[in-house]
Amino acid sequence: MSSAGSPGEFELIARHFARAAGNSRVDLGIGDDCALIDAGPERQWAVTTDMLVENVHFLADVAPAALGHKALAVNLSDLAACGAQPRACLLALALPRADDAWLADFANGLLALAEQFGCSLAGGDTTRSTAGVTISITALGEVPRGAALLRSGARVGDDIWVSGHLGDGALGLAVRRDRIELSPAARLAAVERLERPTPRVELGVALRGIAHSAIDVSDGLAGDLGHVLKSSVVGATIEWGALPVSAALASLPLEFQQRCVLAGGDDYELVFTADAASRDAVRAVGRDVHLPLTRIGIVRAGGGLTLAAPQGPMDIQPRAFDHFRP
- Which residues in 30-59 contact Mg ion (CB under 5 A)? 33
The single residue among 50, 168, 195, 216 that binds Mg ion, judged by CB under 5 A, is 216
CB of 248 to ligand ADP, least distance (A): 25
CB of 321 to ligand ADP, least distance (A): 9
Measuring CA to CA, which residue among 156, 65, 140 is closest to residue 104? Answer: 65
Out of ligand ADP, Mg ion, none, what residue 158 binds, judged by CB under 5 to 8 A for its kind, is none
**Residue 97 CB-half CA count within 13 A:** 4
Confirm or reject binding of residue 195 to Mg ion (CB under 5 A). no
Q: State the burial class of residue 78 (Cβ atoms within 10 Å of its Cβ: 0-12, 13-18, 19+).
A: buried
Out of Mg ion, ligand ADP, none, what residue 17 binds, judged by CB under 5 to 8 A for its kind, is ligand ADP
Confirm or reject binding of residue 78 to Mg ion (CB under 5 A). yes
CB of 308 to ligand ADP, least distance (A): 26
Measuring CA to CA, which residue among 57, 51, 131 is closest to residue 97? Answer: 131
Q: Which residues bind ligand ADP (CB under 6 A)?
A: 13, 17, 30-33, 50, 78, 218
**Residue 52 CB-half CA count within 13 A:** 26
Nearest-angstrom CA–CA distance, 207 and 200: 11
| Nearest to Mg ion of 31, 124 (CB atom) | 31
Bridge-partner residues for 272, per DSSP? Answer: 161, 214
Stretch that binds Mg ion, among 72-80, 122-130, 275-283, 313-321 (CB under 5 A): 72-80
| Nearest to ligand ADP of 248, 264 (CB atom) | 264
Binding site for Mg ion (CB under 5 A): 33, 78, 216
